Chains A and B, each alone.
Chain A
Amino acid sequence: MAFGATDTDIATESEARAMTGNEAIARGVWEAGAKVAAAYPGTPSTEILEALALYPEDDIAAQWSINEKVALDTAIGASFGGVRAFAAMKHVGLNVAADALMSQSYIGANGGLVIAVCDDPGIHSSQNEQDTRLFARMALVPVLEPSDQQEALDYTRLAFEVSERFDTPVILRGSTRLSHSRGKIWTGSRSTDEPKPFLERPDKNVMIPAHARARHPVALERERLIGDWLVEAGLTRREDGPDGATDRVGYITAGPAYTYLREILPDAPVLKLGASYPLPTGLIEEFVASYDRVLVVEELEGVIEESVRVRGIAVEGKAYFPRTGELSPEMVRAGLVAAGVLAPPEKTEAPIEFEPLIRPPLLCAGCPHSTCYLALRSANARVMGDIGCYTLAVVEPLSAIDTCVAMGSGIANAAGLAKAGTESKPIVATIGDSTFMHSGITPLIDAVYNNANITVFILDNHITAMTGGQDHPGTGKTLRGKETHKVDYEALVRAIGVTWVQQIDSYDVANVQRVLGDAIDHRGVSVIISDRPCVLDPVRIKGPAMTVVPDDCTACQACMNLGCPAITWSDEWHDGRHRVEIDQTLCIGCSLCAQLCAPGGIIPAADAPVALS
């Protein structure tokens, strides 16, 4: 596994272990000797920093930042200081960090600067499926694309070297499949280079127009050099297959698409690119010249295909493979059939198919968000949502979110809607505590400044829940679990200039309704802060379960409006409708359903007649 004469020769001191792509990236960051790592959580990238926090604090400062831009700027600062530095984010996180990236590309890197950006083809857990490789091309920043866990580690190490050698930030592009797949890999040891001194060169580090004009051509020049160097380093390689076995069709691919292609065509001639920007033009020309026909197999956009074609080299690709969704061996096979290089599969027995049960993800049993949306639905509010677990309130039965654009959009969306003057319903923005920290504070200042008539509902469940329970400045804990200053939301909101602020307990259903009514009646910006911990993180909350007394259940369905996954229809009927029952293993005993049950049919299981509990 040597990459030529580089410092990433890790064949020595190796040890095999099973790691996810994210763990492998973290390992690569640590092995590369990085001193500072920062990130804002985002599926599928979250576990990279969580894994880094398992390495000694003396080796690496690993921390959560308030958002992706702050994470990247933190890493940039460390790079200025001459140490290797790292930032991680999901694909849409790069939109937030883009401003810094675009200029840093001109500035370069003193200590190696690597940004892991994890795409989400197929949109398993995101708001879109943008292709980071297009971003890299725009920023003139190389983008390395590992195809499996071993490469995730090796490329990460190598990315730092590319960064220092060519004076550029480097993007390591992951994907959901890579991040969350586990594979057996060989690890190495940590390299320990001395930090470089701060480079006192304002012409390079201070991006005023005169300096930037001079740096832009420098960034363009390194394009050519890097593409060729990746070939020398063995990252980009020709796999021509067994001698004489060629069917005159060659393939160019990169990233996880390589594994799908190999699954279908284990012996086909492949040019496997280690980076889809910059490209090794010479090698591509040679490869294409060796075959009658060359197909590019890549996930999402035809980034490689287009870049190759604009150089006047004839290749095909997106005519046969989709531009949306996640690739799979099946889709690669279908594309190859469409391209006429594989014979259509023989008709075999049709697989046994059933109409799948609709099972969308749900708010947890006892989720403190549920009553807030129950109240919003009752208030018939126009709800400008945001991103987090609470976005799940968009589906029935809560069905109480009208919009969701991007992290932190809701508040300004609400203010804009209010200014439009077309909405007759009360306008409410809902935003989670972590999202509020990420990008909700500035639009709230703006709404006060411009005197928008809106209500802002901050859903404080004391954690970043959607991504699996990460701390943030509102929780008072760091990534490494250390106590730190805890932001006081009410004081913060008042300091911004909001005069109407109330904290509520979202487990008090009647009070949530009452306070929401008052907040809506207030003219100008009103803020409600709901205050109840998430039931999953940081600790799993489980109280004594509730139960339904069947004879007392009138099957009115009021409790079903919560969408609590512990409540479901029982086999009993009343007046033409299903009675309900509570799954004792799922119920956490929050009592919300009991508060909604007018006949009092829901009681603690411990109080129930023995036959019931």
Chain B
Amino acid sequence: MSGTAPTNVLIVGVGGQGVIMVSKVLAELCISQGLNVKQSEVHGMAKRGGAVFSHVRYGDTIHSPTIPKGEVDILVAMEWAEALRWLGHLRPGGILIADTQRIVPPFACLNRERGADRRYTLETPPEILELVATGHAFDAGGMARDLGNERASNTIILGALSTTLDFPADAWLEIIRKAVPPKTVEVNERAFAAGRAWVETTDTEVEPYSVKAEIPAAPKVARLHPDLIIRDAWCKSCDICVKMCPERCLALDEREIVVLTNPDACTGCRLCEWLCPDFAISVALRETERVAAE
């Protein structure tokens, strides 16, 4: 019942990036080449900016539609942190192809403390490429922009992928032409060639798209504690500060005078001080001995 082992390609990225488009092109290609193929994805919640993945398996006999962990031959990542999320699924000796563009979700920018930085992957492409047998990490997004169409980064990735699989380039292009909007066929053809070239050439032309190692570090800032000074007599209950406070830590009390309801949430941004038409609030920042957030 068992044939030769299937080839396993895992394509990952962020909802809206085109993970499904890339995996469909590969699946269609396999069918056009007379191969058996299974492709598996998840719709619904995952699409709204969440992490998205698609398994593509092809060969003679394929049982499971999903690739067992540790058996991925090629991991194609369309975003940097997503590459890292799935790296453990790559088999020893597997190939990583990654777009190094970073999509930082609002969730990574929630910490309102002074000096707090984004909660985004700190590992850099050079560090990761050290860990895998074969890896191609480059700024496909930037490349696409320079080609004149941001969306073409998917096709650039397909170009890079095509160098690692045994299908003729013309067969890829035939499927891609059908998959992209008619007006963009020409730019996508160039994008495909650019993706291939990035892997195959080593000359300096591709240099600008190799990715720099450093991620800018957060400045060290002193811990300051905000004190809100409210002049009750000057407050005319207009509610502006309550409505506009980004931390939602103000309210009108039973006298309809503004009060600070959640002192811990106040970041001292001074918006209330600036917006109050009657100068009823001022913010004072007091140094504390606590150290800056990591």
Q: Which of A328, A557, A560 contacts B66 (CB 8 A)?
A: A328
Known: A330-B69, A354-B85. A18 touches B27 (CB 8 A): yes
Inter-chain contacts of B222 with A (CB < 8 A): 576
B45 touches A125 (CB 8 A): yes
B68 touches A565 (CB 8 A): no
B50 touches A362 (CB 8 A): yes
Q: Which of B39, B41, B68, B116 contacts A329 (CB 8 A)?
A: B68
B42 touches A125 (CB 8 A): yes
Question: Whole-angstrom distance between the alpha carbons of A468 and B28 in the complex?
Answer: 23
B271 touches A184 (CB 8 A): no
A180 touches B108 (CB 8 A): no
Inter-chain contacts of A585 with B (CB < 8 A): 150
Question: Whole-angstrom distance between the alpha carbons of A125 and B1 in the complex?
Answer: 35
Closest to A125 in B: B44
A180 touches B106 (CB 8 A): no
A554 touches B270 (CB 8 A): yes
Q: How far, in Å, is B142 (CB) from chain A's closest CB?
A: 12
Q: How far, in Å, is A241 (CB) from chain B's closest CB?
A: 8
Q: Is A598 an interface residue (CB 8 A)?
A: yes
Closest to A122 in B: B42
Inter-chain contacts of A360 with B (CB < 8 A): 50, 105, 107
Closest to B85 in A: A356
A18 touches B64 (CB 8 A): no
B: number of interface residues (CB 8 Å): 80
Q: Is B47 an interface residue (CB 8 A)?
A: yes
B46 touches A181 (CB 8 A): no
Q: Which of A17, A180, A262, A348 contacts B42 (CB 8 A)?
A: A180
Question: Whole-angstrom distance between the alpha carbons of A266 and B60 in the complex?
Answer: 13
Question: Whole-angstrom distance between the alpha carbons of A462 and B99 in the complex?
Answer: 36
B:181-207 near A, CB below 8 Å: none
Inter-chain contacts of B28 with A (CB < 8 A): 18
Most A Cβ at <10 Å: residue of B65, B66, B69, B81: B65
A267 touches B2 (CB 8 A): yes
Closest to A124 in B: B42
Q: Is A556 an interface residue (CB 8 A)?
A: yes
Closest to A350 in B: B88
Inter-chain contacts of B43 with A (CB < 8 A): 43-44, 46, 125, 180, 468
Cβ proximity bits B21-56 to A, threshold 8 Å, 1 near / 0 not: 000100110010000111111111111111100000
Q: Is A237 an interface residue (CB 8 A)?
A: no
Q: Is B163 an interface residue (CB 8 A)?
A: no
Q: How far, in Å, is A321 (CB) from chain B's closest CB?
A: 15
Q: Which of B48, B116, B216 contacts A362 (CB 8 A)?
A: B48
B246 touches A556 (CB 8 A): yes
Cβ proximity bits A341-368 to B, threshold 8 Å, 1 near / 0 not: 0000000110111101111111110000
Q: Is A542 an interface residue (CB 8 A)?
A: no
Inter-chain contacts of B2 with A (CB < 8 A): 266-267
Known: A263-B64, A354-B121. A396 touches B109 (CB 8 A): no
Q: Is B70 an interface residue (CB 8 A)?
A: yes
B46 touches A377 (CB 8 A): no
Q: Is A389 an interface residue (CB 8 A)?
A: yes
Cβ proximity bits A559-574 to B, threshold 8 Å, 1 near / 0 not: 0110111011101010
Known: A125-B44, A352-B131, A576-B221. A181 touches B39 (CB 8 A): yes
A577 touches B267 (CB 8 A): yes
Q: What is A's interface to B at a CB cutoff of 8 Å?
A: 16-18, 43-44, 46, 124-125, 148, 176-177, 180-184, 241, 256, 259-260, 262-263, 266-267, 328-330, 333, 348-349, 351-354, 356-364, 377-378, 380, 389, 392, 395-397, 466-468, 513, 554-558, 560-561, 563-565, 567-569, 571, 573, 575-578, 585, 596, 598-599
